[in-house]
Structure 1
Amino acid sequence: MNMRISLFSRLILLGFGFFSSYTVWGQGPVEQGVSLIKSFAREQFRGDGKIWDITQDGDGIMYFAANNGLWEYDGTRWTNYTNPLHNNLRAVHYNKEDQILYSAGYGGFGFWKKDEKGELNYYEIYSAGLEESNHAAEFWSVGELEGHILFQSFEKLFFYTPGTQTMDSIDAPSVFSFLHKSKGRVFVEDYVEGLFEVVGDELVKIPNTGVFGGGIVGISVVEDNELLIVSDDDGVFEWKDGVLRSKRWRLNVGLKRDRIYSFQELDNGNLVFGTIMNGIYVSNKRGVRLLHFDTRKGLEKNTILSLFLDHQTNLWLGLDGGVNYLKINSGISYLLDEIAKIGTVYASQRMLKMHYIGSNQGLYTLDLRKESSRPRLVKGSQGQVWSVENIDQQIWIGHHKGAFLLKEGAFTQISNEPGAWIFQKHPKRDDIVYSGNYFGICVYKKIQGEWKFITKLNTFNESARFMEFDNIGRLWVAHPSKGYYRLLLSNDGLAIEKMDFFGMDNQNIERYAYMTRIDGNLIFFNPQGFFQFDEVDNDFYQSRYATELFEGVENLSRIEQFGDIFWYISKNSLGFIQREGNEFKNIQEPFAHFRNKHLGDFTSISKLRKNIFSIGIYDGLVFCRAPVPDSLVAGSPAAPIIRGVNLISSKDTIAASIAPSDPVSVPYRNNFIEFKIATPNAPEGDFWKVQYQLKGLTDDWSDWINRKQLNFPNLSPGDYELNLRVMDGNGNMSPIVTYSFEVEHPWYLGTFFIVLYALLVVAVFFMIREYFRRKALKEKERLQKKDEEKMQRQKEKYEREKLESEKRLLVLKEEKYRLELEQKNNELSSAAMINIRKNELLSEIKNDIKQLEKNSGDQALSSVKKLIKKINRQINSQEDWLSFELHFNNAHAHFFDKIREKHSGLTANDFKLCAYLKLNLSSKEIASLMNISVRSVEMSRYRLRKKLDLSPEESLSEYISSF
């Protein structure tokens, strides 16, 4: 929706008049602000924003007569209705008895009636012919009187009777001006003859009223013989017993200057004047101006073409450029930074006829004795003001530079200790005041009538933004992120004698730890709950009364009590508990517009006078009236309205009835159901929430949501019942609205197709039976064949297993042979090693004998030589080689044959050397076996390489091992 709606951007400054003695509506604005103004600008009306007339139906839906047709607003959506014969509308009127909307304009008049889908259709009652003059064809007013609907053009006044659908008319004495209604009576003005009252089907002249020349814009019936006549150029007149007098009101001067165009009488007797030049004026019935709105103070335009008071006694303005909505019945007004330029407000205080406002820019004063007064910055106060307190009729200011007093309008510093958060007077000593600062607590004493800074409390250096004295005189300091400090002060109040700390290790304390006073008792609260302190147990215990008082309100960061009003701030809400005996009402609805604009635990809530409070927000100041009358908070909100039901498929969308007498049938392919809902009595911005239950899908209610459209895709066939209700900001729930519908089964599940499916089932049964009979025969044959194949497979399997067994046997044999070969090699190696060791031993013995031979005589020498010969024979014994050769051939059959076959020129010693190399013996070991030197072995290896014709790169050992 391309709607430019200003919410807080249109909550701007009215001026700064002080209206303590007056109310505009039932509760009216309070203090010196403006009510909520919401704008629907010209762009919303497709370029032609002239709104000539406004009305409201029984459901709360608003209707506007404009140059380009009839506009409908249900609190969420704007809809434009046009008719080729009836577009240029001048008047619109809703008749409660027949619940029909009538309209009139250029060319004729008729009525609009909703069809079952909720759309308005136009039905013509009268159409001016082409031969008629413009005066006869242009209708400017619609009213009702004694069962007749009255339509007024410049030349005639038509009486239409809806029951019989008959119509009569009265000709104008000369030229009619406008039709006026007040307290059930109807008046019409003639340009020449003056004012007439419509009585029955006749015109009764009001004498001495011909001076206005068609300029009467409104009538208010005061008594049977007394009227208040509002004219465009000459202001307000009194007509009584045939005597006409101009009202000697001061307001009349401004009304004459600004030219009145529209007029609205309020239920409480107050009067609203819409002007051409300067917006609207609101006065009481004595003509005392209460309010004034113009473009500087929130209106979209200064020319007010029409005025209308809705069911909630809030005001709608038809402009020469859109629509404005003034929510004046909330008891709330605003003093915002957009014009006042006062910044973010952290403190507010009233003393006598002056209002003091502390913001992030400094201290402002507002003189309440002067209607035109504007906030004035106190010289020298520039900077962050944290608090403004009235202590003994003295204004104390907590500033980021320290503590200040306002003395005869001068901003006077009494302490330069930085960051004065808050001030607390000593409970027993009138001459002592404390300030909680960024880094501790300062003490001030009244000496010879002057307040002086004395000292800082010793040993305490924490931030002290929240301080309270308990009932026995001890000072408590709440540090939101640490816990609570309890300070026992000296008798003179100038020092700390004892300090106790209760931190997060206590089971009843959690971060975001705060405290307040409720009915004189010190209450500690944090996310764990509400607590009081037990002096005997020296610990906290739950406060049942505070818990009950704030039941359902979570994440509290500030509580302020003023009698039976308990203001609170939480993370996402702002409101107050209104106590009436043992009953508590949680009031949040009036504050929905700025519930996200408060300053958390920095929010200032001050009582300015009886029932009037101020609340600081980030862009100004809010004035609220509390308690709130039952008329604004009691009872259930109006039920939501179903504005449209769309049955959606991938190919088309069907608009269904919005109020069917029987459940709606939904084609299966259109089983995506879309419901458009509205809350007309809560225009957008009032934050009403919706809850729904779709029986047939689930019996559970949804969460509360802020939504104006509900979608249910891909619903299965079956019966459904949608239940809707809304909840206002105070937790009141509306009656339930019910909508029933049935999602049809798909076409292929219709009666004809079900019978057809039954016949098909029977036919298929016999076909299946025959099929299974044949299949059984085939299965029998298949099983026989399968058995044969199975036997063949088993036979083949047996053969394969036999081959596998034989293969495994061969592998085992081969493994056996390998093991035997390894064993023989081991034996051969062992035998070789034995011979090696033997020969080595014999060689050593021979060497010893030779040594002995050198040192012995001839006879002994002969014996030694014989012994050496025996040893040489043993070393060169051919039997050792034959034994080795036998074992070698057992282990390596055909080794010598294969070498001899390839190398025929080898000698016996060459074959020995090959055998030893096959066993990987070293040169030293081979030398011992062959009884030669190692060098001789190397030479033998060299000669063998030559005989075997090996290249230098080839290994002799690897070559021999390959045989």
Structure 2
Amino acid sequence: MDKLYPRLCILLLLLCAAFLNSAQGQPAFFGNPFVKNYSTEDFKGGIQSWGIIQDKREVIYVANNFGLLEFDGAVWNQYPMPNGTKVRSVYASDENTIYVGSQADFGFFKPDARGNLQYFSLKNKIPALHQNFDEVWRIVELKGKIYFLTFKNIYCYTPGKGVEVIVPDNPLELSFKLHESIYTQEWNVGLCVLENNKLRLLPGGEVFAQTRIASVLPFDRNLILVFTAQDGIYLYDGQEVQPFQVEKGSELEQLVINQAVMLKDGTFAIGTQDNGLYLMNKQGKLLLHLSRREGLFDNTIHTLYQDEHENLWLGLNNGISLVELSSPFSRIDGTKGVSGAGYAALVSNNQLYLGTNSGLFASQMNSASHSFSLVPNSTGQVYQLRANKKRLLVGHHNGPYTVADNRASKIFSGQGAWDFVEIPSKPGYFILGSYDGISLLQEVDGQLQLVKKYRGFQESSRVLSFDSNGTLWIAHGYKGVFKINFDQAFSKLVSINFYNSKNGLPADQLVGLEHIRNELIFPARYGVYRYHQASDNFRKDEELSSYFHEYEHIIDMEEDIQGSIYFISDERVGKISFDKFGKPLMDDRLFNNIRSRLNDDLQYIRVLDLNNILFGAKDGFIHYNAAKGKAMSGFRTHLTKVINTSQESDSLLLAEHKIAETANLTLPYKLNSLRFIYSSSFFESPEKTQYQYYLENFDKNWSEWTEKTEKEYTNLSEGKYTFHVRARNIYGTVSEAKGFNFVVEPPFYRSRWAFAAYIMAGFFMLGTFFYQVDKRFKREKNQIILAQERKLNQKETEARLATELSEQEINRLRNEKQQSEIDHMNRELTSSTIHLINKNEVLNNVKLELQGMLKEGELNKHSDELRKIIKNIEQNITSDADWNQFELHFNHVHGDFTNRLQERYPDMTPQEIKLSTYLRLNLTTKEIAQLLSISVRGVEISRYRLRKRLGLDRSDNLTDFILKF
């Protein structure tokens, strides 16, 4: 009975799975999820990645061929192993420690003083007997101990202590952590559990004695799911093993599995050796298959990891891929067989049709793969799809088409067809809008035929619809709106009315036409408008317009069966739903992720049903699963580095691992220029994540949002600062602000000691000031006393003044007399000098004539007497007596000039004294030459020597110097 009960449980479970499997007609993934690939050039690592983990800061770590990789959402960092070996496993503990396992070594990375990760090997803690081991393929933590799992031994490390070795009797395969226990496969024994540092074979586990296990995962409280590498999937209840039934005929029946993980929604992700990724639910149904064809870098998946935001990371044989499983959006593009930009979509006869600029594509709605194929004869631009009984109407660039039996047929030859609208009052009749007007079509024997082309209206008719009165409206995107009335038989046009900005619309251009709440509305350049028949003009619909911004242009709108409105505008994409009181609820943040992907030619929305909405994209279509939604959970912002830029080369002050531990960073004033580098842990479209920063005590407010991941501040003044940074992801969710405190110390001249000195100097200056004030007070007091005394002695002063005036007059007369005498003496001196010059000139001329006569021999008999006469003349010319007399008078007139000159320049020669004297009299060079009995050239030479004696520059005037001396 004990063995029968588990079997019944398994049987009942499988029956439930089969029932649920048959009940689910529609696959979980309409298209393929978005995939972000990282190449080896992106993360600067080796091609193979063997393990992925996320720490408490939500930073991703990867075990890679080139070492440990770290990804913070913005930058990849690489930490190679000291011995250059490959990292095979990685585990992030809560102690800011990253454990890694490599080839014949294991240990951990821990931040150094600046926050950079540094490796510490634990191999030296292993007993020498067990240091020879192979690669560490798994690392798990259990009850505060770290287990390094190899194919040879299990190594148990107690942080801060030693390593204990668990030696099995047989070689091991991969090991797993499950339900706070370690499961492993002992070869030739089976599936075992580690208990009290010993391996115990589980009941029934011998089934896996020689069957390699890829993963062991929880299935429910009592069952576990065992994924083997090549022999299928099994359910184990603790006693017996039963095959797990997967969807028959699916690829799940034949997989080579490297690893499987259980996702947060209860489904299973399976990484295979050669065929990419598979998603399977608990009923064994295939939900999704992704390979290189669907956008992965590689088909070989070594490891899988689901992060905090439910994204699935894949460590590939060549690169790393991120699959956005949590997103409600998926893509229907070339990976599903659809090529070109999306323009139209429709479900008809259990077929999903998609129209692109390349043609019309179709797929069965209940197809698990949703693989599309091109409808024959439909190649070219498709504009619109309309359902008509068992046929599909296609607005095509080549004309109007119908699709039946999976083949497109042209209705008639003509120019391009935009759209079809059925005439409400005439079943089986359609109005066709084309490039050059409108036409009437009729269904005859199940076939559409052209009845007539209407004359008198040749405008392009892309957007057209009938109102409740049977009037046809056509919105022309560049002109306005046309209202067309037909006769009762629709044989001709009765009237054509044209409306534009003159009739209430805000502009002639960009007027649309939509059916909302079974009424015709006209989204215009801004605002939503309705036609008022009584006044024959357009008026703004205040309610619908209030849902949008004042100048927002609504491009396309679509309503689901619950009245929710999906829209595309020139500003955003969104959904307007209504609560039970009719209050509108705007949701546009979720759609930010797809806005840049949408077709910007003719934007398009199609509501297939309540939960499936398609948007025309630049590449195919984007599917929105309204039932799935998206959790707008918070995410983290990281301040990853603080770098000093004050020096010639930048220097790292702190990295992220130490920033959180640093309560307050103190910097000297010379390091007052800093660069902050930051990132966020939101990995969906990280290039579109924006950041705001704010430096408290410097910035007045938060900065504008920017996609830059760093901010630099230069020449900060001394003081306390707090740098704040926060991120906003593509969905508009803002993370909690990250703060970092630091202090810039003042320069030495603004330090405490300097201010103490300044205070002392201030007191000294204050004392000096008071002293000066007191002194000035006393002085002013004395001045007042003196003023009184001046008043008392005023009469005496006036009398003395009169006496002084008399004395001044006498002195003036005396001075005039003295000046007259000086002038007279100066004239006499000048006259004497001139006389002396003349005398010397005459004597010199006589001397020259006598010398000439002696040379000619005219007076030979009197030559001796002549020589005596010449000698007497020369002595008379050079006689000092005349000079002494002259010098006496000269010094008397010129303030003892020669004596003063000799006192200042004691090395001056008598010749230089004489030259200075003659210069003082302002004599010419020729006159001076005669007085000195030298040539004019000699005077010039003497002047030059005198300048040197007086120390004059070339720019100084010698005569001016003598006259002013």
TM-score by length of 2: 0.70
Q: One-letter code of the match for 1:204?
A: R
Aligned pairs for 1:713-728 (under 5 A) are 713-728=714-729
1:206 pairs, out of 199, 202, 205, with 202
Paired with 1:703 and 1:583, the residues of 2 have a C-alpha distance of: 32
Q: Secondary structure at the match of 2:659?
A: coil
Task: Give 2:933's aligned residue.
Answer: none
Go from structure 1 to structure 2 and tell me whether the alpha carbon gap of 1:473 and 1:357 turns closer, same or farther (over 3 Å shift). Answer: same
Indicate the SS of the match to 1:505. helix
Match of 1:272 in 2: 269
Partner of 1:62: 60
Q: Partners in 1 of 2:270 and 2:335 — Cα distance?
A: 26
**Match of residue 40 from structure 1:** 38
Q: Could you say which residue in structure 2 is the equivalent of 1:605? A: 605
Question: For residue 476 of structure 1, what is the aligned residue in structure 2?
Answer: 473
- SS for the counterpart of 1:602 is coil
Q: Which residue of 1 aligns with 2:398?
A: 401
The 1:494–1:730 alpha-carbon spacing in structure 2 relative to 1, beyond 3 Å, is farther
Q: 1:719 to 1:496 in 2, by over 3 A?
A: farther
Kindly indicate whether residue 305 of structure 2 is the aligned counterpart of residue 304 of structure 1.
no
Provide the residue aligned with 2:839 in structure 1: none
Amino acid of the structure 1 residue aligned with 2:755: I
What do the CA deviations read for 1:195-240 (whole angstroms, capped 9, x no partner)? Answer: 1123454433213434443721111233565432222232223334
How does 1:765-804 map onto structure 2 within 5 Å? none
Q: Does the 8 A contact of 2:454 with 2:493 survive in 1?
A: yes
Task: Write out per-residue CA displacement over residues 780-832 of structure 1, whole angstroms, 9 at most, x where no aligned residue.
Answer: xxxxxxxxxxxxxxxxxxxxxxxxxxxxxxxxxxxxxxxxxxxxxxxxxxxxx
Q: Which of 219, 222, 227 in structure 2 is aligned with 1:222? A: 219
Cα drift, residue 56 of structure 1 = 0.8
Q: Which residue of 2 aligns with 1:517?
A: 515
Question: Does the 8 Å CA contact 1:725/1:733 hold for their aligned counterparts?
Answer: yes
Q: Which stretch shifts more, 315-324 or 645-654?
A: 645-654
Give the aligned partner of residue 622 of structure 1: 622
Identify which range, 391-400 or 137-146, moves more after superposition.
137-146
Question: Match for 1:576: what amino acid?
Answer: K
What is the aligned partner in structure 2 of residue 568 from structure 1?
567
Kindly provide the CA deviation profile for residues 589-648 of structure 1, in whole angstroms up to 9, marking residues without a partner as x: 55545422322361232233441122222222222212553xx144x5324221122232
Distance change >3 Å, CA 388–CA 170, structure 1 → 2: same
How many angstroms does 1:181 deviate by? 2.5
Shift, 1:307, TM fit: 0.9
Q: Which residue of 1 aligns with 2:885?
A: none
1:689 and 2:685 matched: no
Indicate if the aligned counterparts of 1:672 and 1:712 stay in contact, CA closer than 8 A.
Answer: yes
Q: For residues 410-454 of structure 1, give each alpha carbon's deviation from its aligned partner in whole angstroms, at most 9, with x where no partner exists.
A: 423224342211222234443332222212222223345443322
Judged with a 3 Å threshold, the aligned counterparts in structure 2 of structure 1 residues 578 and 667 are, in CA distance, closer, same or farther, namely farther
Equivalence for 2:671 = 670
Q: Is the 8 A contact 2:556 2:605 kept in 1?
A: no
In structure 1, the residue matched to 2:236 is 239
Q: CA deviation at 1:663?
A: 4.0
- The alpha carbon displacement at 1:317 in A equals 0.8
Describe the shift of the 1:407–1:225 C-alpha distance in structure 2 as closer, same or farther (beyond 3 A).
closer
Q: Does 2:360 match 1:363?
A: yes
Partner of 1:742: 743
Check the 8 A contact 1:531/1:542 in 2, yes or no.
yes
Match of 2:484 among 484, 487, 503: 487
The CA distance in 2 between the partners of 1:667 and 1:315, in whole Å, is 46
Q: 2:710 corresponds to which residue?
A: 709
2:195 equivalent to 1:194: no
Match of 1:181 in 2: 177
Separation of aligned partners in 1, 2:653 and 2:119: 19
Question: What secondary structure sits across from 2:688 in the alignment?
Answer: coil
* Deviation per residue, 1:638-689 (Å, 9 max, x gap): 2422112223214343424533664433443333332222111334447332
Structure 1 length-normalised TM: 0.71
Deviation at 1:325, TM superposition (A): 0.9
* Alpha-carbon shift at residue 28 of structure 1 (Å): 8.5
Where does residue 440 of structure 1 map in the other structure? Answer: 437
Give the superposition deviation at 1:576. 3.0
2:732 counterpart residue number: 731
The alpha-carbon distance between structure 1 residues 39 and 768, as it changes in their structure 2 partners (threshold 3 A), is: same
Q: In structure 1, how many angstroms separate the alpha carbons of the residues matched to 2:560 and 2:714?
A: 51
Matched residue SS, 2:749:
helix
State whether residues 29 and 35 of structure 1, in contact with CA within 8 Å, keep that contact through their aligned partners in structure 2.
no
Mapping 1:939-950, distance limit 5 Å: none
Letter of the 1:570 counterpart: S
Alpha-carbon separation, structure 2, partners of 1:561 and 1:601: 21
Greater relative contact order, per chain length (Cα 8 Å cut-off, separation 6+): 1
CA contact (8 A) 1:83 1:122 kept: yes
CA distance in 1, matches of 2:151, 2:458: 82
Alignment of structure 1 residues 779-858 onto 2, 5 Å: none
Q: Hey, what's the Cα distance between the residues in 2 that align with 1:494 and 1:633?
A: 56
The equivalent position to 2:142 in structure 1, one of 121, 145, 151, is 145
Counterpart residue identity of residue 156, structure 1: N
Instruction: Tell me the SS of whatever aligns to 2:545.
Output: helix
Q: Name the SS for the 1:92 alignment partner.
A: strand
Structure 1 pair 531–712 and aligned structure 2 pair: CA distance change class (3 A): farther
Instruction: Decide whether aligned partners of structure 1 residues 417 and 67 sit closer, same or farther in structure 2, where only a CA change above 3 A counts.
Output: closer
On the 8 A contact 2:157/2:163 being kept in 1, the answer is: yes
Listed as ranges, the gaps of 5+ residues in structure 2 are 1-18, 776-965
Q: What is the Cα deviation at residue 308 of structure 1?
A: 0.8
Aligned residues: 748
Structure 2: which amino acid aligns with 1:540? Answer: F
Distance verdict in 2 for CA 1:251–1:155, change over 3 Å:
farther
Render the CA deviation track for 1:265-302: whole Å, top value 9, x for unaligned.
22333222222222222222233322222223222122
Native 8 Å contact 2:415 2:435 kept in 1: yes
1:754 deviates by 3.2
Q: 1:226 to 1:363 in 2, by over 3 A?
A: closer
1:378 matched to 2:375? The reply is: yes
Q: Distance in 2 between matches of 1:316 and 1:444?
A: 54
Aligned with 1:543 (options 532, 541, 544) = 541
Greater mean alpha carbon deviation, residues 329-338 or residues 586-595: 586-595
Q: Is the 8 A contact 1:508 1:528 kept in 2?
A: no
Q: 1:280 to 1:501 in 2, by over 3 A?
A: same
In the alignment, the residues of structure 2 paired with residue 764 and residue 362 of structure 1 have an alpha-carbon distance, to the nearest angstrom, of: 93
> What residue is the counterpart of 2:787 in the other structure?
none
State the one-letter code of the partner of 1:343.
G
Q: Secondary structure of 1:234's match?
A: coil
- 1:553 is displaced (CA, Å) by 8.7
Is the contact between residue 86 and residue 105 of structure 1 (CA under 8 Å) also seen in structure 2?
A: no
Q: In structure 1, what is the equivalent of residue 80 of structure 2?
A: 82
Question: How far apart, in 2, do the equivalents of 1:647 and 1:140 lie?
Answer: 40
In structure 2, the CA distance between the partners of 1:586 and 1:43, relative to structure 1 (3 Å rule), is: same
Call closer, same or farther: CA 1:566–1:126 in 2, change over 3 Å.
farther
Report the CA distance between 1:81 and its aligned residue. 2.0
Partner of 1:754: 755
Secondary structure of the 1:324 match is strand
Measured in 1, the distance between the counterparts of 2:55 and 2:280 equals 27
Matches within 5 A, 1:410-425: 410-425=407-422
Query: How is 1:325-364 mapped onto 2 (pairs within 5 angstroms)?
Result: 325-337=322-334, 340=337, 342-364=339-361
Question: 1:577–1:584: 8 Å Cα contact kept in structure 2?
Answer: yes
Q: State the superposition RMSD in angstroms.
A: 3.7
Residue type at the aligned position of 2:279:
V
